[in-house]
Every structure is written in structure tokens, then in C-alpha cells.
A and B are shown apart, each in its own frame.
Chain A
Amino acid sequence: MSVTAEQNEAAAANETIDLRRDYEESGVGEVLDQLDRELIGLNPVKTRLREIAALLLVERARKRLGLVNEAPTLHMSFTGNPGTGKTTVAMRMANILHRLGYVRRGQLVSVTRDDLVGQYIGHTAPKTKEVLKKAMGGVLFIDEAYYLYRPENERDYGQESIEILLQVMENQREDLVVILAGYSDRMDKFFTANPGFRSRIAHHIDFPDYSDGELLQIADKMLEHQNYYLSPEATVALADYIEKRRQQPHFSNARSIRNALDRARLRQANRLFAHTGGALTANQLSEITAEDILASRVFKVAAESQNQ
């Protein structure tokens, strides 16, 4: 017995860990590359994800050599303007953490205030616990988390939900990862009012706005997914559209672009009906032309404001 134990010890001391091989075997590289390919821009976010992936691989290697004492905290907060890809990245996050073996099952449970907070006394705790149970072994994504806390109403049940969340985030770190998401300014206010949250979250990731060029690339990607394409003139028109749309209120990055494209498809369908009689080619059916885009209200509003 003692001989083999000694041998084991000696083996452990001499054992080396091949991080490169670990990286390849975990399949994380694949997910990260996919992230690079499919998500345009978001460089700070991607850098942070790579850092987290590297940390987890190193932690895993340390664990194998008996060097680790406790699991790193991975609760995160995603802040950024509307339509900057917070939810999309959260979905990928669950996958990445699962591949790295940090969460056991890798499911993503996406909730908002409605799913956590009850309507009457005694309703909140079971509801929150139910959601937490579903998220165990995976990632709990709380969208627009600041709605949980309503300072104007001191009898609001949100506070109860927050307390349960904090407790689980602290005591069951190995069972689930909580990601909070929301718009930057309101999240800041939320964290100031709930310092417990701020200190329990290790990673605050800020999602920057997309540049005009990036938005155009995103538009291309979206259309490609739906088997549409932009004619060269339409591409120019869309670039112009993005520039003008940004100046107008309620601009929400990629989401605005998605809506604009949906409306362009509507106009394209209408145009096909109105102007082409009879036979249509696949090409005609999937081309979005400049006129589909230029008909947008955005151009009229922009022209009017210039006239004034």
C-alpha cells in the first residue's frame, strides 16, 4: 500500500499538464471560434470570454495536480445598450461553461422579473426557488435585472427574490452561474442600491455599441441566414439608413437593423406583387433592392429635420 502511495505521489509531482491538448480536447476553441465568426464586433466581450476560458482551463489543470482549493466565482453582469447582443452571448456562455466542465448540464434558463417575483405575500419565495431549481447545473440569465428592485415601493416583493438569489449565489456557486443583464445606467443604479450583488459578481462585462460598418456586416449576416441578399445599391442605401437611424430616438443597434430588414422584406414582397406579373425567379425572390430600403420612414424624418 505505502509503496504504491509513494509511487503515486512521485508520479503526481512529475506529472505535467499539456494545456494546449486540454484546450483542444475540451472543444472550447471551437465554440470561441464560432463566436468570432458569427458575432460581429464585440471585441472587449470576446477578449473577456477568452480570458475566462483560459482561467477555467488552468483551474482544471491545477485541480488535477491537487493545487486548487475552491471553484472560482463566475457570476457575471452584462451591461450595454439595447440590441448589443447580451442575450446571444449569454446563450453561448452556457455552452462554453459546460464544455469547460464548470457547469454540469449547460442549460440556459432565461427569466425576467415576472418569473421570479410573486403577486402576493408568500408567493415569491417558492417561485424564485422553482426557477433556481430549474437552473441548477446550468446558467440562470436574468434579463433587465434592475426591475427586481423597486425602491419607490417599499413593500415590493422583489427584495425577497433578491435575498434568495444572493443566498444561492453565495452558497451554491458550484451548482449554478447567474448572469444579470440590462442597460448600463440602470444596472449601475441597481448595483448601488444592492451592494451585495456587486460584490458577488466577479465579471462585469460591458457591451459596446456597434459601429456603422459592423451593423452593415450584421445586416448581411442576418439576410444570409434567411436566404436573402442586398443588391449593391441596396447596400449603399442601407449604410445611409444606418447612419440616419442612429441620429433618431429609440435606436437599438442590431435590433433596429433586424426590424428594418423585416420591413424591407415586407416592401419587397409588396413590390413583387405590384410590379412583376407572373413568373418569378429565385433570384428575384431573394434580392432586396435599394427601393425597398429607401421607402423607409427614417429617410423622410431625416429629410424633414434637415428642412427645418
Chain B
Amino acid sequence: MRITQGQFSFLPDLTDEQIAKQVQYAIENNWAVNIEFTDDPHPRNTYWEMWGLPMFDIKDAAAVMTELQSCRKVYGDRYIRISASDASHGWESLRMSFIVNRPAEEPGFDLERQEVDGRNIRYTTRSYATNKPSGQRYSS
């Protein structure tokens, strides 16, 4: 099941050229660009691991694309997203976030129904991928 999180997630995956254009847009707005990765696709998993530091003071998207390539080299089998944060209010707030890399196979989610208090039901979603320990989830 294809994960849809963040911007552009209902579109076909962005090409590198399209990613570079989005990143350039963020840079031109003076937003710091981050590269993050994870192998836990649960929608409530908000904080992903960061690839390097947030990139301030860069002028061109080529810098981010270089980092993205090296992140893909190491974590090409995981989800990678690019986010941009705006500090103009005095605190960093997220302006952009979109997935730029995803595993070849996304097993999707299990919906668990728990019967409680008589006939009430509580729902839980759990990714099939997280059955395995972190680091072994997508590499077959």
C-alpha cells in the first residue's frame, strides 16, 4: 500500500528535477532544508531520523540534491523525506514536507479491532513492516 504523507503524496513520485525545483523554492524563501529518513511509516511517527544537520545558508538546490544522493546510497531502502522550516517568526515552523524516496515494497497496515467495555471497539493501525526490528524492515 502506497504511503501518502505530506505534500504531493497523491501524485506520482517526483523526479529529481522536480525535487530540485521544490527545494530551490524553499531556499528562495530562506527556509532551512532538512533531509529525514525512517523505516517506520506509521502516520503518528512524526520525528524521523535526520540526515546531517538542517541546511541553512545554502544558495542552490544542488547542495541538497548532493546530500539526498548520499542519503539514498545508505538508506535507499527506507522512506526519505525533505522538509523545510521557516524561522521568520522566531521559531522554526514546518512549511514543506514531502517524501522523496520510498521502499520498493510497502506492505501496508494492519487494522486491529479491540473489543472493550461490552460492545465498544477501539481501533489500532500497525504497519506490517514493523513486525521486524528496525533496520531489517525493507531489505529483503
Chain A residues, Cβ within 8 Å of B61: 137
Candidates A104, A126, A134, A172; contact of B58 at CB < 8 Å: A134
B57 touches A137 (CB 8 A): no
What CA separation (Å) do A137 and B55 show in the bound complex?
15
Chain B residues, Cβ within 8 Å of A176: 62
B59 touches A175 (CB 8 A): no
Q: Is the interface of A mostly helix, strand, loop or mixed?
A: loop
Q: Does B67 contact A (CB under 8 A)?
A: yes
For residue A137, which residue of chain B has the nearest CB? Answer: B60
Chain A CB count within 10 A is highest, among B52, B63, B66, B67, for B63
Q: Does A107 contact B (CB under 8 A)?
A: yes
Chain B residues, Cβ within 8 Å of A172: 62, 66
Interface residues on chain A, number (Cβ under 8 Å): 13
Interface residues on chain B, number (Cβ under 8 Å): 11
Q: Which of A166-212 contact B (CB under 8 A)?
A: 172, 175-176
B66 touches A137 (CB 8 A): no
What CA separation (Å) do A132 and B63 show in the bound complex?
8
What CA separation (Å) do A172 and B63 show in the bound complex?
10
Chain A residues, Cβ within 8 Å of B63: 132-134, 136-137
What is the minimal beta-carbon distance from A72 to any residue of chain B, in angstroms? Answer: 18
Q: Does A80 contact B (CB under 8 A)?
A: no
Q: Does A138 contact B (CB under 8 A)?
A: yes
Chain B residues, Cβ within 8 Å of A137: 59-63
B66 touches A136 (CB 8 A): yes
Q: Does A105 contact B (CB under 8 A)?
A: yes
A175 touches B62 (CB 8 A): yes
What CA separation (Å) do A105 and B57 show in the bound complex?
13
Q: What mask results when residues 98 to 116 of chain A are scored 1 for a CB within 8 Å of chain B, else 0?
A: 0000001101000000000
For residue A168, which residue of chain B has the nearest CB? Answer: B66
What CA separation (Å) do A104 and B59 show in the bound complex?
9
Chain A residues, Cβ within 8 Å of B52: 126
What CA separation (Å) do A292 and B58 show in the bound complex?
47
The 5 closest A-B pairs by CB, nearest first: A137-B60, A133-B63, A175-B62, A136-B62, A136-B63
13 A-B pairs with CB atoms under 8 Å apart are: A105-B60, A126-B52, A133-B66, A133-B67, A134-B63, A136-B59, A136-B60, A136-B62, A138-B59, A138-B60, A172-B66, A175-B62, A175-B66
